[in-house]
Chain A
Amino acid sequence: MNLILFIFIVLLGFTSYYFGRKKAYTIQSTNKRLTALPQFYGYYLAIWCAIPAFIIFSLWAIFEPTIVKLLILSDYSNQGYLDDELNLIYEKTKALSRGQFTGEITPFIEASAEKYLSLRSIAQSSKAVIVLSIIIASVAYAYKKISSNSRTREPVEKFLKVVLFTASLAAILTTVGIVFSLIFQTIDFFKVIPLFDFVFGTHWYPAKAFVRDSSEALDPTMYSDTFGAVPIFAGTFFIAFIAMCVAIPIGLMSGIYLAEYASVKVRQYAKPLIEILAGIPTVVYGFFAALTVGPFLKEIGNSMGLDVSAESALAAGGVMGIMIIPFISSLSDDVITSVPQSLRDGSYAMGATKSETIKKVIFPAALPGIVGSILLGVSRAIGETMIVVMASGLAANLTLNPLESTSTITAQIVVILIGDQAFGDPKTQAAFALGMSLFLVTLCLNIVALRVVKKYREKYE
């Protein structure tokens, strides 16, 4: 129904474009000068068609559900139901009218469902009538208004500019969306669990929070030893640390070699090949870590008499390090190549070898950029999910032994939220609180890193 209406409106838009242009041609044929190209007259009419349609559609989307709900619930108004019960009745009505209702159907609800359906169909048809009549009226008004000396290009361009501007707000809206989706759940979570317990507690057993009778009131004391995030934070930074131990030396040295030593041919082939590593989906790395690297490390460890978990932090961190190599190598490559040649020439003129020049002159000059690239790598490592979910453990151990399994923020979010979630449950809220801390940490790292890199670029440009 909505689709048909939409298609109809689009067709109307095209028709009004055609009529607008036609009127412009008619004006032209009477030897009057137009103030804009004929198609602008068409666009002008089409906009007069689009804007009212958009406004009515959005108003309808906002108000229709509320009004229908009010009308349905007015049948129940003087029977002494509580608000929650009324909401439940409304949900049941909606489910029944969609045919998705499971459970006992009472005659009341059945009557409401029928009323709901008829109200919906009335709403739909009245929407169609209202939209179409208003559009036709507004287009007709605009059609009468345009004449040879009326301005059409300026309003059309202004409209386009508004559209462009609105699109550019999408980035801000996304950020706002992220913050909003996280913040409410997080606040609710901290109403039950004190912030102090979350940040400094050392026991993380969210599964315990699930063993709760939902009819009982929330008793904060029962969560006292459940949501201590220290093991999670420690595990996250530990695995990120292992990853950086692999990624920094290999990534940095490859970046230096590619920028300073490699011949054009080697560079031409090696650089894209290394960058393939960045294009491989993380779930593939996770499978690789869980299937190959984990058991391999376990075997090596066993042959040396060490007790290695098959889901060790080392396996997850090591594979994550491989994933981050290309980020560090290509960013540091860029940074090093943008160090001015004069610095190199100066150093060579003093008799320094190539490696001495790199170590003593180029590296210090490029250091801010390199630090920026490493910070971006760390932020990637902290936010990486699939490798940890598949290759590292899910139990939150507080350990610094790379051969044991640990868990991370991202892995815990997935563990908690996989399957069905009950909003309003402290366990679900805990995942959002973890997400909030992840967002804040990576945000800080990104801002610092981007600023450092930007400052550095300005210095040499």
Chain B
Amino acid sequence: MNKNKEQLLNKRYKAEKRFRLYGQSAIFMALLFLTIFIFKIFSTGYSAFQKTWLIVPVTFDAELMMLEQNPSKEDLKDADYYDIALKSMADLDPNANEDQENELKRMVSYFFEREIKRELLNDPSLIGKTKDVYLTASDDLDQVFKGNYPRDLPEDQRRVTDYQLKIFDQLVELGKVESKFNLSFFTYPDSREAELAGIASSFMGSIFSILVCLMIAFPVAVLAAIYLEEFAPKNRFTDFIEVNINNLAAVPSIVFGLLGLGILLAVFQLPRSTPLVGGITLSLMTLPTIIIACRASLKAVPPSIREAALAMGASKMQTTMHHTVPLSMPGTLSGTIIGLAQALGETAPLILIGMVAFVNTIPGSPLDPAASLPVQIYIWAESAERGFVEKVSACIMVLLGFLIIMNLFAQIIRHKFEKKWS
């Protein structure tokens, strides 16, 4: 009997330990996913912040550039750089035949002409002289240099030819290949060529959308929250508004995209693909988040504050506007920032209103067509070129960086400025 009891007790203790272990392993799993996730993004993405350059000697031959003697600045701008650019690439291998010259040309980006031009515009005295110029390597060679390219594939299955690899290896041995910080990733707009693609256009698109979203969602949400929390009578209609807000917070984001498409684009005829429409759509999504946050922080202001103000003869409106609302601002602001962070990461509704269009100019206003950072991630992830994989990860790192900064900011506002009532 006693032994039985002991066995039973042991069994119960074991069950206890097992249960505890399940809990620990669940936490462990969740954290493991997070770690793998972050590790994967960083390990594929960090190399995008480096860019490979080929250092090619360029002879600025006035005759080939169709330049007269003593050219003015304007002449230099209009000069023909294609021939000298082509020639300097072809000169990398003096014995190259025509096909090989073509392959040589394709070792650098199609911006090579512009890069040579910039060099001369910076220093017009170079005419007639030879100088080493940094040219952006093609994205395949960029990947070869970073070690991400399977060189041992048979030649017909890869885009880099054996000949290009041979020349490239010679250049590497001569120290004519250099890796530098990839500034153009931040300053260039999107491009079909991975080596020239940057996030400037989508970044500006995101900024404009978020600004539009903030300018619409914040005032409307705060006013609505003030009404619901301070003035609304308790009746059916108020309940109905409340149910609406709670439901909107849980409606799938793509439905808001359909709203933007069906109402903003089709009925109001607003311009497609623009951050204006994107921002309005996102503002409808963030509205409930901000309303809920603002109401919570209005609720946290103790009634004694209101009573004191009322006792001093302030009207209800004055009490609210002069005392309750300012005291609730830290909570409201941090809720707003969190809502904006959500909006910043949103993709599906923006795709539906056409912000996936290929944009190779940097938008200057909310009325110019644009993409946004998450949509850029989607566009690049869908393209087949190898060079875009690291770009996607790098873009994700930029986006996550912004989200982390915004959330930290929200935390700081909350902890620093919120009054603790006790």
The interface of chain A, by Cβ under 8 A from chain B, is 153, 157, 160-161, 163-165, 167-172, 174-175, 177-178, 180-182, 184-185, 249-254, 256-258, 260-262, 270, 273-274, 276-277, 279-284, 286-288, 290-292, 322, 325-326, 329, 353-356, 358-359, 376, 379-380, 382-386, 389-390, 410, 413-414, 417-419, 421, 423, 431-432, 435, 438-439, 442-443, 446-447, 450
Contacts and interface: CB of A to CB of B under 8 A. Distances in A.
Given A355-B15, A356-B12, A329 B30 contact: yes
21 contacts: A157-B317, A170-B221, A178-B255, A185-B262, A250-B30, A257-B20, A257-B23, A274-B27, A281-B403, A288-B40, A288-B41, A322-B33, A356-B12, A356-B16, A383-B255, A414-B352, A418-B352, A432-B258, A435-B258, A446-B247, A446-B250
Contacts of A450: 246-247, 250
Given A172-B241, A181-B262, A250 B252 contact: no
Given A168-B232, A171-B287, 13 more contacts: A168-B223, A168-B227, A170-B224, A174-B244, A177-B259, A257-B20, A284-B396, A288-B37, A353-B16, A355-B20, A414-B351, A417-B352, A442-B255
B356 interface: yes
Given A161-B317, A253-B22, A432 B34 contact: no
Contacts of A283: 345, 347, 374-375, 377-378, 381
Contact of A386 (B16, B33, B347): B347
A287 B258 contact: no
Contacts of B345: 279-284
Contact of B244 (A172, A262, A329, A383): A172
B329 to A, nearest CB: 17
Contacts of A358: 19
B348 A439 contact: no
A354 B254 contact: no
A116 to B, nearest CB: 16
A167 B403 contact: no
B23 A256 contact: yes
Contacts of B27: 253-254, 257-258, 262, 270, 274
Interface string B344-375: 11111001100010000000000000000011
B16 A410 contact: no
A52 B30 CA distance: 58
Contacts, number: 259
Contacts of B287: 170-171, 174
Contacts of A160: 317, 321
A386 B19 contact: no
Given A153-B315, A280-B400, A281-B345, A170 B259 contact: no
A380 B249 CA distance: 11
Given A279-B407, A355-B19, A438-B255, A180 B41 contact: no
Interface residues of B, number: 85
Contacts of B22: 253
Given A353-B13, A414-B348, A163 B223 contact: yes
Contacts of A354: 16, 19-20
Nearest to B353: A417
Nearest to A175: B244
Residue of A182, A253, A326, A356 most packed against chain B (CB within 10 A): A253
A164 B288 CA distance: 15
Contacts of B351: 414, 417-418
B255 A435 contact: yes
A447 B396 CA distance: 34
A227 to B, nearest CB: 17
A277 B40 contact: no
A153 B393 CA distance: 58
A455 B332 CA distance: 27
A171 B291 contact: yes
Contacts of B250: 376, 379-380, 442, 446, 450
Contact of B252 (A180, A251, A383, A390): A383
B403 to A, nearest CB: 6
B251 interface: yes
Interface string B283-310: 0100110010000000000000000000
B24 interface: yes
Contact of B258 (A175, A251, A359, A413): A413
A284 B377 contact: yes
B253 interface: yes
A390 B381 contact: yes
B400 A414 contact: no
A279 B341 contact: yes
Contacts of A386: 347-348, 378
B82 interface: no
B245 interface: yes
Contact of A410 (B33, B231, B241, B254): B254
Contacts of B375: 283
B399 A167 contact: no
Contacts of A413: 254, 258, 352
Contacts of A382: 252
B227 to A, nearest CB: 4
Nearest to B261: A417
B378 A443 contact: no
Nearest to A417: B352
Contacts of A325: 30, 33
A447 B179 CA distance: 56
B207 interface: no
A274 B252 CA distance: 22
A291 B383 CA distance: 12
A435 B259 CA distance: 10
Contacts of B20: 257, 261, 354-355
Nearest to B389: A291
Contacts of A291: 40, 44, 381, 389, 392
Given A164-B227, A450-B246, A281 B255 contact: no
B384 to A, nearest CB: 12
A172 B240 contact: yes
Contact of A178 (B30, B224, B251, B407): B251
